[in-house]
């Protein structure tokens, strides 16, 4: 009976994995086919007449390199800022005692319940008053702060062994030294998890970059591709759009593969009770 349950469990997981991987595989495969083949052979799993023309076209017809550079700069800086500020705030809420600590943390938790769309209008007016419209600062600053990161880091530091901090204090470390030299390196699994989430959300962000950017040189990949799809054409070039979509997914997959080990360790640590 136990073997049957294991077999059914693995079979279910395999079927779920196939259902999730098939659209991605189809996107990659169709990105190498011309538009006629995409619709003429829609039912085929693998197209045989493959071509690189779609990828050549998107690099010649679109400022794709600029879009990619903008998205990469915004996502990397926003992720680094989010990790740093969330770690500092989470450590303070978990280990330090100061007035209104619980009340301030409650306010941060409440901000997680507010839909991001609600903040767009006040954020836009704030950026306009600071003369940051159509700049990297407007794209990066709102993504560097968030309640989820503070919550995750606080939960980790609540379980951080106090003996390590006390030993560091005896050795002459001050608060910042014990944080950067001891607490932060040991928090790598949680940091990797937060970094992956932040990078993916920032990379895929569409609404805020669409509103806060005006010039083509400041557009990110999602905005640039949406405008390209909605441009005045008689037909939609699906092969080129699929090629752009494949290019967009490469950094996300790369970031996940880099942080996969720490991400899995964080999940395992969260599921183990001492």
Q: What is the pLDDT of residue 141?
A: 92
55 in any annotated domain: no
**CATH code for position 243:** 1.10.3720.10
* Other Cβ atoms closer than 10 A to 49: 10
246 in any annotated domain: yes
28 in any annotated domain: no
Evaluate whether 164 touches 184 at the Cβ level (below 8 Å): no
Calculated CA dihedral for residues 253, 259, 263, 265, nearest 10 degrees: 140
Evaluate whether 35 touches 51 at the Cβ level (below 8 Å): no
Q: What is the pLDDT of residue 84?
A: 93
8 in any annotated domain: no
Domain span including residue 125: 62-271
36 in any annotated domain: no
Q: What is the pLDDT of residue 133?
A: 92
Q: Which residues of the chain have pLDDT under 50?
A: 232, 271-274
User: Could you read off the pLDDT of 2-20 as tens digits, one per residue?
Assistant: 777 887 888 898 989 888 8
Nearest to 243 by CA among 29, 1, 6, 17: 29
Q: Residue 265: how many CA atoms within 13 Å on its side-chain side?
A: 12
Q: What is the pLDDT of residue 75?
A: 94
30 in any annotated domain: no
Sign of CA dihedral 94, 99, 105, 108: negative
Domain count, the chain: 1
72 in any annotated domain: yes
What CA–CA distance (Å, rounded) separates 72 from 248?
A: 10
Q: What is the pLDDT of residue 105?
A: 92
Q: What is the pLDDT of residue 34?
A: 78
What CA–CA distance (Å, rounded) separates 29 from 86?
A: 40
14 in any annotated domain: no
């Amino acid at each position: 009976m136990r073997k049957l349950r294991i077999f059914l469990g693995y079979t279910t997981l395999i079927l779920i994995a196939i259902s999730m991987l098939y659209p991605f595989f189809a996107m990659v495969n169709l990105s190498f086919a011309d538009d006629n083949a995409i619709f003429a052979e829609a039912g085929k799993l693998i197209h045989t007449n493959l071509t690189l023309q779609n990828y050549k076209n998107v690099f010649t017809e679109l400022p794709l390199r600029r879009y990619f550079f903008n998205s990469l700069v915004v996502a990397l800086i926003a992720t680094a800022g989010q990790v740093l500020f969330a770690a500092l705030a989470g450590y303070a809420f978990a280990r330090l005692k100061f007035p209104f600590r619980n009340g301030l943390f409650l306010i941060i938790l409440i901000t997680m319940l507010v839909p991001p769309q609600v903040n767009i209008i006040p954020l836009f007016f704030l950026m306009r008053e600071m003369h940051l419209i159509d700049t990297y600062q407007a794209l990066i600053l709102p993504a560097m702060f968030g309640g989820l990161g503070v919550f995750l880091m606080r939960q980790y530091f609540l379980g951080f062994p106090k003996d390590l901090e006390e030993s560091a204090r005896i050795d002459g470390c001050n608060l910042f030294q014990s944080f950067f030299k001891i607490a932060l390196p040991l928090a790598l699994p949680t940091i990797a998890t937060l970094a992956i989430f932040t990078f993916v959300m920032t990379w895929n962000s569409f609404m805020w970059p669409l509103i806060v950017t005006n010039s083509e040189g400041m557009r990110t990949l999602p905005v640039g591709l949406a405008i390209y799809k909605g441009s005045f054409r008689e037909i939609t070039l699906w092969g080129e759009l699929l090629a752009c979509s494949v290019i967009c997914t490469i950094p996300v997959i790369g970031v996940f593969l880099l942080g996969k080990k720490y991400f899995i360790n964080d999940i395992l640590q969260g599921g183990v009770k001492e």
